[in-house]
Amino acid sequence: MTTATARSDRRISPVFLGIVAVMAVAGWAVWTDFSANTGLAVFLFVTAGWIVSLCLHEYAHARTALHGGDISIGAKGYLTLNPLKYTHALLSIVLPVLFVIMGGIGLPGGAVFIERNRIHGRWKHSLISAAGPLTNVLFAIVCTAPFWLDALDGVPMAFRFALAFLALLQVTAALLNFLPVPGLDGYGVIEPWLSYGVRRQVEPFAPFGLLAVFGVLWIPEVNVAFFDAIHGLLNVLGVSELENYCGYQLFRFWQEAPELCVSR
């Protein structure tokens, strides 16, 4: 099996590097309280960080598919980490960012287009689907590391809140994406193990899986239960619900943040 790709197909995109630069500068502004509007700096830091994680999510799918046998991945530009190269930039980038703004939910976006007929072996297909949300899990571990390592001495509160909210987005994205719902990666993990008849019956529902999940989350009882589970998991990682709350309030810079989130 060959996984050869042209060097230009693997070159990191200036678009991605620009997003990373925005994240770094905004993070510095939050840390140093350089900006006159801390909320705007938090918004830019979290949004850029969220887009970076989306790019890495899609890259993980693509890279795993490449090693699984789909050598067409490189020519599609997926290995450059350029969000504009993904199957549908609206689904992969724009809608997830809007979901964050609307409800503080890290809803997963659309996946890269993989030529599954080039890949043989059910385990390879499952791993390709799992690679994306596993990247969100890794991102969440990195974001929460200062909390569960008890290494927060000297960390400014605004940066701490921003990091907590970014971690929440990663955890929600991982959990939602692992749901066995058609159209999400969780279903992609189990799909190779289903019978042909079942896959044919489920296939028409795949385009609506993401919207269905979003709709169900708007049901108050489901929303409360879901976020209780999220906060319970984050508490285990040392991140309190208050830190997540303040991170989200600072993120929404167009609204005045509560006093307890700016005076601590």
pTM recorded for the entire structure: 0.90
Cα of 103 vs its chain's centroid, Å: 15
- Residues identified as active-site: 58
Q: How far apart are CA 102 and CA 217, in angstroms?
A: 12
Under the banding of pLDDT at 50, 70 and 90, the label for residue 2 is very low
Q: How far apart are CA 223 and CA 26, in angstroms?
A: 30
Q: How far apart are CA 57 and CA 16, in angstroms?
A: 13
pLDDT in tens, 66-79: 999 999 998 888 89
- For residue 1, the model assigns a pLDDT of 45
pLDDT in tens, 23-40: 999 999 999 987 678 889
